[in-house]
Structures are given as C-alpha cells and as structure tokens.
Structure 1
Amino acid sequence: MRVLVFFSFVFMAFSSNAVVKRHDIPAKNYVLDKAPKYLIDMPHEGHGVLINPQWIVTVAHTVFYDYTGKKINVGNEAFEIEHVHIHPQYVEIDDALFHGDATPLMNFLKSRSDIALIKLSYPVTDIKPIDIYPNINEAGKEITVFGRGATGNGKTGENLETKSLRELNHFKNIIEDSNGNWLSYKFDKPPYALPLEGMHGAGDSGGASVIVENGKPYLVGLSSWQVWRGNLAYFKGGLYGTTAYQVRVSNYREWIVSVLGSE
C-alpha cells in the first residue's frame, strides 16, 4: 500500500489528484457531463462542497493564501468569500519532509486536521446543499467520489500531464476503515475491484465522497492524501494497491456546527 498527498510540487504528486481508473475499463465510463451542484471548484485547484446555503467545506491544503474577498463560482454565480476558517489543528508541511523516507511525512499527514470552512458573502438560493452523513458507521460502505484532477490507470499510475484538462470524473470504492480524522480505502486490481473502482489523484483534493442511502446522497469524506512507503524520490501515485485517505467529515461535526453558529 502507498500513501499519496497532493500539495504543491512533490506534494501534488502525493495529495489528492484526479481520478485514477481501472486499466481494463474504458476511461469514458468514468467521465461525467455534469457535476453535482453541491461540488464547488476552488479558486485555483481542488474542490469544496456546499453544506449550507452560505458555507463550503474543503480540505485546508487547497487554501493557498487568504481567500477573503476572492470570488468563487457556485452554480452560475460568482460569490465573494467573506471568511475562511482553517481548523486549529491544521499545520503546514515543512519542506524537509518531502525528502528521503516517506514515514515522517505519512505520520505528519495523519496527525493533522486537513479541513477548512469557507463563508460566502450571502446565501446561495438556487442550489440545495448536501447533508453531512449523520452516522459514524462509514466502514464497509460504498462511496462515489468526484474530481477534475489528473487521470491515469492502476497499472501505470496517474499522468500529471492530464491535470490541466480539468475533465470531470467519478469513481467508486469501499471504505475499509473509519477511525478518528480519517476514512481510508484501497485501490484494488481486477478481478477484485468494483466495476468503476478508482482513487483520487492530483487536483482532486477536497472532492466530495458520497454515500447514498434511501435514495439520498450524504457527504462522508473529502479527498486528501495517499500512502507511500519507502523513498519519496520513487513515488508514483495511483497504482493498484495504493491506500487513499479522506477527511472523515463526521469527526468534525461539532467543529463545523460551532463555526457556523459563531457567525
């Protein structure tokens, strides 16, 4: 298993990137013509999710600087960002962690809270936000994940040159573990994979991970990073056997409620 992260340069190759697909399934099967309306593209890279008429949740590492006053498109309208709340347990990565053995970087990523909330200047009126999954029994559930990042397949890994295409894709997977801050799943190879098995890639950070129950979609996770073992110089994202981590949104319900209530 490998862990990936997509944060700037080397991190881009490690953090959430675009959808990586099965090698034996036509790539077009993963492509979507329309994004769910609650899926929001961040100003520069990655995604957020509309969870309230005036609030977007995303992973903190997609916020590259103070976005206050910057425009963000929600549906067909550009909204001004009024405020950004970064979780107090989010810490920027020291560049030294991107060199040598991956273990210190993996431990660091797992220890922090990679989540942020973005307040819009006024409420969205024409798009229904997605509700957060109300339970904590995510393990074993099938998820659908969305992203516009780099693509590739499980045999050869992701191709970072495709990242600029910004093609909307989706994939399926099964949550293997839900513990503390994180949900995790593994990119299985055929014949053990789901028909649209996949994993996130570079540029997919913050993309919604959704469970559908009784016909209703619920937000359970946000694409964040992948696992890698060994020397970071040999890192290759999106290979079969890779384990990916997503922010476990249910773990941050109290923090989300407190921030929304404070404003």
Structure 2
Amino acid sequence: MKFWWLLFAVSLILPNYCNAVVKRHDIPPKKYLVDNAPAFLIDMPHEGHGVLIAPQWIITVAHVIFYDYKGKSIKIGGESYKIESVTKHPDYIEPDESLFKGDATRLMAFFASRSDIALIKLSSPVSGIAPVKIYQEDNEVGQIVTVFGRGATGNGLIGEDLSTKPLRKMHSFNNKIDGAKGSWLTYKFDSPPNSLPLEGIHGSGDSGGPSVIFLEGEPYLAGLSSWQYWQGDLSTFKGGLYGATAYQVRLSVYKDWILSVLAS
C-alpha cells in the first residue's frame, strides 16, 4: 500500500504537512512559511488536515480517516475536543490493493470516480474561532487559490522529499484553478517564468488542507487537497514535479450533501 501514501496528500493536501508543500526552485523556501496558520485549519489525529466550517463541524477528505475516530480527542485552538461522529460521503470507496500496481490508468480513474469527502461532528461547539464559509459559486476556473499544509516539501525540479514530512512546518502557496469538472478542481504546477510568484502544489501529508479564495479579504473554502495525477507505471511515481496536476475536492458541488449532514 505504499503508493497510497505517495499519491494522497490530506493531505499532499493545502497546500496542506511539513516544510510543507512543494515550491518553485528559484524562490527562497522561507517565503512560503506561514507564521500563523489560519485558526480554521485543524490537524487531524493521525495525518492530514481538516477545516472548521461550523462551530461543531469539521470537513476533511475521507481518505485521512484511517480508523474509527469516534471518541478520539482533537486539538483545536489549543483546546481538546472529542469527536462525536464521522460521516463519509456514500460515494467514497476504499481502493483495492491491486490498483496500486502497474500502470496508473486504473488508479487515476478510481480516484476520479469517488467522493473523497467526510464530515466530523464534535461533541461540543468550538469557541473563539470563526468557521470559514464554503465557496458556493461555480466560477472557480481562473480564480487564484491559497493552499495551506504541513506535508512533505521539495521543489518542482526534484519533486517532493518524503523525508521532510515529519517536520510539519506550516507553509502556503498559490495557484490558479484551471479546471472545475464535476466534483474536482484542478490546477497545474507551472514552472517559471509561467508560474505565480509563490506557485506550488500540495505534497504528501497535505491531504484535507484548505484551498481558499479571498474575496474582499474574506476567506472562502473552495477545495480540499486530495491527490495528484500520474501517467505511467506507479513504481516510478514522483510527486511535486513541474507539470504535475493536483486534484482538489470541489466543495461547491457538495454543498447540498454538507447541509443535509449538518441538519441531521
């Protein structure tokens, strides 16, 4: 199952773990550092991130729910809260191990076909932290997102270095959404000079990290870091190279499902 950890970020995810996120090779890495992570970003119990979207609710990618988290404590704003329940989307499916061998085509199709999203209910409301609003429009293409994460770092020339994953320093990067198809947002990690000043891509361990669109200075949660596209044999997979395409859970598509779970 080693490719599970390589291909998923939650997260890779916001840019989302470590000296986190994979950066441009020609920009000092310290420029991607975040001194104060957004209060609504939450570290999951085992790995990856979640986002506070209501006083008693966290949203994340389903693949970072590694076991039954019910009753487990989670740190939010320096305080411990107990997890009351976890609801995965009904269209989320665990992959068969055979998908992680050989050509990547079947695995990529599997990732694209499922709904990698989950909601976590806390036993009590979070106080002192403002939840982030979900972006509900369908005009994501062309929008600049800011992604957060603590995952594996590296640069576009060499890709991500998995040995950096335990460092867990908060970083952020920018990218431009170039695809919004069905339940996924996509962006490409462009090399200079065709990249944004702080362009990047999520790395392993960033899964579930938020992709945020700022409107008049207010953050809106547009996506969650989920996976990277790969062509060829999975044994040669290397995340975070220039030209790679990242997939984010497109939250505007799931707004009705989210509201139905919160209401229940």
TM-score range, shorter chain: over 0.9
**Cα-to-partner distance string for 1:112-169 (whole Å, 9 max, x where unaligned):** 0000000000101110000001211101000000000000000000000000000111
- Of residues 151, 154, 157, the one that matches 1:155 is 157
Alignment partner of 2:97 out of 95, 110, 133: 95
SS class of match (2:35):
coil
TM-score by length of 2: 0.96
Task: Tell me how far apart the structure 2 counterparts of residues 27 and 220 of structure 1 sit (CA, whole Å).
Answer: 25
Per-residue CA distance 1:201-259 (angstroms, 9 max, x = gap):
00000000000011111000000000000001111100000000000011100000000
Q: Could you list the structure 1 runs, at least 4 aligned residues long, displaced by more than 3 angstroms after superposition.
A: none
**Corresponding position of 1:3:** none
1:186 match: 188
Distance in 1, matches of 2:224 and 2:146, equals: 11
TM-score relative to the length of structure 1: 0.96
Distance in 1 between the 2:8 and 2:192 partners? 24
> Is residue 236 of structure 1 aligned with residue 238 of structure 2?
yes
Q: CA deviation at 1:11?
A: 1.6
The one-letter code matched in structure 2 to 1:228 is W
SS at match of 1:96: helix
Letter in 1 for 2:227: W
Contact kept? 2:174, 2:200, Cα under 8 Å: yes
The answer (yes or no) to whether the contact 2:136–2:251 under 8 Å persists in 1 is: no
Matched letter for residue 124 of structure 1: V
Aligned counterpart in structure 2 of residue 214 of structure 1, from 208, 213, 216: 216
Cα shift at 1:9? 2.4
Task: Report if the CA contact (8 A) 2:53-2:134 is conserved.
Answer: yes
Q: Which residue type is aligned with residue 121 of structure 2?
A: K
Matches of 1:168 and 1:33, distance apart in 2: 7
Q: How does 1:50-61 map to 2 (within 5 A)?
A: 50-61=52-63
Query: How big is the alpha-carbon RMSD for the aligned residues of Structure 1 and Structure 2?
Result: 0.7
Q: Show the counterpart of 1:134.
A: 136
The 2-side partners of 1:123 and 1:91 are apart by 30
Q: Deviations over 1:53-81 (max 9, x none)?
A: 00000000000011000001111101000
Q: 1:46 aligns with which of 48, 54, 66?
A: 48
Aligned AA (1:259): V
Unpaired stretches in structure 2, ≥5 consecutive residues:
13-19
How many residue pairs match? The answer is: 255
Match of 1:22 in 2: 24
Instruction: Look up the match of 1:4.
Output: none
Unmatched 5+ stretches in structure 1? 1-7
Cα distance between partner residues in 1 of 2:209 and 2:57: 15
Tell me, yes or no, if structure 1 residue 197 matches structure 2 residue 199: yes
Partner letter of residue 13 of structure 1? L
Tell me the secondary structure at the aligned position of residue 24 of structure 1. coil
User: Is 2:118 the partner of 1:125?
Assistant: no
Distance 1:85 1:158 in 2: 31
Map of 1:13 onto structure 2: 6
SS of residue matched to 1:85: strand
Q: Secondary structure of the residue that 1:195 maps to in structure 2?
A: coil
* 1:254 maps to amino acid: D
